[in-house]
Amino acid sequence: MGASHISNRSEQWPGPWSRRGLLAALGVAPAAAVLTGCSGSAGAADGTARAAGSAQPAAKRPTVSVTPADGTRKAGFTSPVVVTVADGTLASVKVTGNDGSEMAGSLNDARTRWTSAKNPYSGTKYTVTATPAGAAAQTATFTTRSPGETFVGYFTPEAGSTSGVGMPVSINFTHAVKDRAAVQKAITVTAEPAVEVVGHWFGDTRLDFRPETYWASGTKVTLSLRLKDVEGSDGVYGVQHKDVTFHIGRAQISTVDLSTKEMTVRRDGATIATYPVSGGNAQHTTWSGIMVISERFKQTRMESSTVGLGDEYDISDVPHAQRLTTSGTFVHGNYWASTSVFGHQNTSHGCVGLHDAKGANDSSVAGYEFYDSSMLGDVVVVRNSGEKTVDPANGLNGWNLSWSQWKAGSAV
């Protein structure tokens, strides 16, 4: 009823009416009442303050990001997997490959970033499951690209074999290695009982491992290849990821003295046989030094043309041949020379010959006996041949290097 006295042209409220009172009389609630709803008559101003303070923005949902990005189909494989979270922390991260393998990794102190311990493998699909604290798990997938060009290492001796005490672990690569350190770090050779084993490079395609002295009889040797995705040369990656083991048998070391033309065979420190031999003649002297049996043939063909000697000989059935060098030195049986040659004359083209019988089946002759007593990895030492020491890379003959020389050829 007081409303009829309000002038529309005046901003003043006449009489005892206040603006608040007038609004109440007209049935219009003040703004504070709208925010506070029903409240007691005491402290209306306090109620307004509490309502304003409780109007907080909604909490943000944690957001997970993955590198390589979700859905990538040809991701790189030379960097680790990284998972980060915004507006939260990570409770757990799991990264699994399509082969069922799981990548290890670690969180930073703030638990906002997870980094894999190693790089992902090439040609593999990965699923990332990241769970923020107090929130649902989030997933992402990516697939790494396949490497363009690859290399492998062919190793000696064979897995599961038993070899003589002189057998090194020798690896020949199918592609020249530029980053020798990276490749060597990806290969380990361990022994039981333990002994220091060091690698030595012979050029850019061959890496051998050996201890300081011959292996101890009964040693178990394990070769671990972790070459998969190791960049050996620009854009050329390894593919192998495997462990192989072999064992060391009895210790047999045979010494050939070409001044006396005799070979003495010692096994585990005891002499078990002495054989008359014939070595290389004055024009074709036999290499001297420490050599390791790397191949064995009950019978094989030998042609002079294959070792640069023209057509001097071609024997189709050389008995009991055991290779000592890549260049063609063997210790083998000889049935075509007179028995009077052995122990008296050096008549060969560089090999060490023992009396033998045609057909390689006569167990009574020296050639048969020595072959039967030998195995891959046995040591044959040649002395007084009139020739210089064999090149350590010519066959499995790294024992001709001192330990300091051998270690100098390591890339790590």
Q: Which residues are catalytic?
A: 332, 351
Token couple for 47: 């109620």
Number of helices (H), then strands (E), in the chain: 6, 28
Can you tell me the distance from the alpha carbon of 156 to that of 67, in angstroms, rounded to the nearest whole number? Answer: 40
Q: Which residues contact 319 (CB under 8 A, 6 or more apart)?
A: 298, 299, 332, 333, 335, 356, 357, 358, 359, 360, 367, 368, 371
Can you tell me the distance from the alpha carbon of 139 to that of 65, in angstroms, rounded to the nearest whole number? Answer: 10
Which of 358, 372, 289 is closest to 325 using CA atoms? 289
| Contact between residue 199 and residue 209 where contact means Cβ atoms under 8 Å apart | yes
Residue with tokens 């897995």: 159
Q: Is 213 exposed, middle or buried (0-12, 13-18, 19+ CB in 10 A)?
A: exposed
| Contact between residue 212 and residue 252 where contact means Cβ atoms under 8 Å apart | no
Can you tell me the distance from the alpha carbon of 54 to that of 392, in angstroms, rounded to the nearest whole number? Answer: 84
Amino acid at 48: T
Can you tell me the distance from the alpha carbon of 52 to that of 35, in angstroms, rounded to the nearest whole number? Answer: 8
Can you tell me the distance from the alpha carbon of 391 to that of 397, in angstroms, rounded to the nearest whole number? Answer: 7
Residue with tokens 């009489």: 15
Amino acid at 65: S
Q: What are phi and psi of 163, to 5 degrees?
A: -130, 165
Give the DSSP letter of residue 135.
Answer: S
Q: Which residues contact 28 (CB under 8 A, 6 or more apart)?
A: none
Can you tell me the distance from the alpha carbon of 353 to that of 94, in angstroms, rounded to the nearest whole number? Answer: 64
